[in-house]
Amino acid sequence: MSQSVLLMLDWNYYKEVSEQVLKSDKRLLFFDYDGTLMPLVKFPSLSAPNEDVIRVLSRLTSDKKNNVVIISGRDSNTIGKWLGNLNLIVVAEHGALIKYPGQKWEKLVVENEEWKKDILSVMETISQKCQGSFIEEKSFTLAWHYRNAGVEEGNFYSRKLFHALSDMVRDTALQVLEGNKIIEVRFTNVNKGVIAKKIENEIKPDFVMAIGDDRTDEDMFTALGSDSVTIKIGPGKTAAAFKLSDQEDVIKLLKNLFLKNEN
């Protein structure tokens, strides 16, 4: 295992996980996309998977013991275009849509866009005041990104927006979620924990791993429980069993655990 990854993972923990991988016959592997498989970039459209990510995912899915799931907040068109042709399960918008290998997208939420109008209006007002921020509209969610704003300005307006939206959605089926430089509004019953547990119950694996970097991944870590190998990327409190400090080490870890012949 590479020295850089060893410095961040407790050796005994890594050894235990490695032994679990070797003994398992049906593995279920959940990977968040932005901030996990790929680094966060200025604009979401610029984060297409690189050759190394595609190669690793292809190698993982070629092993019949592995069931790979990309579980993302991305819209279905984008994540489907990038990864939909691989032999894996793709989840979009935190669980609102799912695509099984070789099949079409399945909507898990009743489509209703009436709620977006007022939420969008508030986001637009904040965006006009916070230079560098932008809005991303998806089928079932609305997201306000401030990764390109100044640190103080972004933090200030993110708090204002969070409180304003929280008041708006009180006593509704919507919720406001804080992520990594993002404020997102989505349906309360749609989250990575719900869909991850659904997939786990379908596949019935003997080994489960989940890796993510965001607040939305905490739902997945909690739902999968202590019997699963859960890893949080970056700082902050987490329900995950362990942490990796750097997104760049995710691919290295996967190569060392599952693809022994990879450099």
Distance CA 193, CA 221 (A): 7
Written as one string, the DSSP assignment of 147-163 is TTS-HHHHHHHHHHHHH
Selected catalytic residue, list 32, 34, 213, 249: 32
- Give the strand order in the sheet containing 89-92: 106-107, 97-99, 89-92, 66-71, 27-31, 207-212, 229-233, 242-244
Round to whole Å and give the CA distance between 192 and 33. 12
Q: Using CA atoms, how far apart are residues 155 and 149, in angstroms rounded to an integer?
A: 9
Assess contact for 243 and 8: CB atoms under 8 A: yes
Where do runs of H (alpha helix) occur along 151-214? 151-169, 192-203
Three-state DSSP at 198 gives: helix
Please name which of 117, 118, 119, 91 lies closest in space to residue 105, comparing C-alpha atoms. Answer: 91
Residue 171: Cβ within 10 Å count: 5
32 is catalytic: yes
Q: Which are the catalytic amino acids?
A: 32
